[in-house]
């Protein structure tokens, strides 16, 4: 059996969702692929009242694009993270820690389990107007039943709370509802 600190090989970003769902299991609402100003927030965790929003961007390799997206997500989410495979996360922790701290972006290492290496801090970029746009989107889907789509369906079935899937990549490469 592998230890919690071992590295698991992921083939797709959504393969990292299950450990991330376990990491944030105390937060009531989770939404995947949330549309936000022409981009998509990979995972958004929210309190039932939608007063606390945590954005998570997942990447297998291209951590810089995840970092840019996480920094952008800070205009509507109180805390923003990137989640990458453990080996890459450890390398980033050792070489790019100051960058993460300077921009208030958190770092999560993902393997069989997910662990926060650098906690995201409440940032100064937060915009009430952008938060309201995101909150409006979440309110629209809050009562929807989860869709069962591929690997996300497996993560949903192992979760005790609601996971609403707005959009996820289908096998044919198109976005679906």
The pTM (predicted TM-score) of the whole model is 0.76
pLDDT of residue 80: 95
Is-contact 23 114, C-beta < 8 A? yes
Round to whole Å and give the CA distance between 116 and 97.
13
Contact (Cβ atoms closer than 8 angstroms) between residue 93 and residue 86: no
Residues whose CB is less than 8 angstroms from the CB of residue 152 and which lie 6 or more positions away in sequence, other chains included: 14, 17, 32, 163, 165, 168
- What pLDDT was estimated at residue 155? 52
3 is written with which tokens?
Answer: 């230890």
The pLDDT profile of the chain, 177 residues, written as one tens digit per residue, is 344 444 577 888 888 999 999 999 888 888 888 887 788 899 999 888 888 889 999 999 999 999 999 998 998 888 999 999 999 999 999 999 999 999 999 999 999 999 999 999 987 677 788 888 888 877 776 655 544 444 454 554 554 444 444 333 333 344 332
Closest by CA to 17, choosing from 59, 46, 48, 54, is 59
Predicted pLDDT of residue 144? 59
Domain formed by 13-176, architecture: 3-Layer(aba) Sandwich (3.40)
List the domain boundaries for the chain. 13-176
The per-residue pLDDT for 69 is 93
């Amino acid at each position: 059996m592998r230890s919690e600190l071992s590295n698991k090989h992921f083939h797709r970003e959504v393969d990292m969702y299950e450990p991330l769902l376990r990491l944030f299991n105390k937060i009531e609402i989770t939404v995947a692929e949330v549309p936000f100003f022409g981009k998509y927030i990979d995972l958004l965790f929210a309190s039932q009242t939608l007063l606390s929003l945590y954005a998570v961007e997942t990447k297998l390799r291209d951590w810089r694009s995840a970092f840019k997206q996480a920094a952008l997500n800070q205009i509507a989410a109180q805390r923003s993270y990137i989640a990458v495979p453990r080996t890459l996360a450890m390398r980033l922790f050792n070489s790019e820690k100051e960058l993460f701290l300077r921009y208030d972006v958190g770092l999560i290492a993902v393997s069989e389990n997910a662990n926060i290496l650098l906690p995201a801090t409440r940032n100064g970029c937060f915009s009430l107007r952008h938060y309201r746009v995101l909150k409006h989107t979440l309110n629209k889907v809050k009562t929807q039943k989860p869709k069962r789509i591929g690997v996300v369906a497996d993560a949903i079935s192992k979760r005790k709370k609601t996971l609403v899937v707005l959009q996820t990549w289908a096998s044919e490469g198109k976005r679906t509802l």
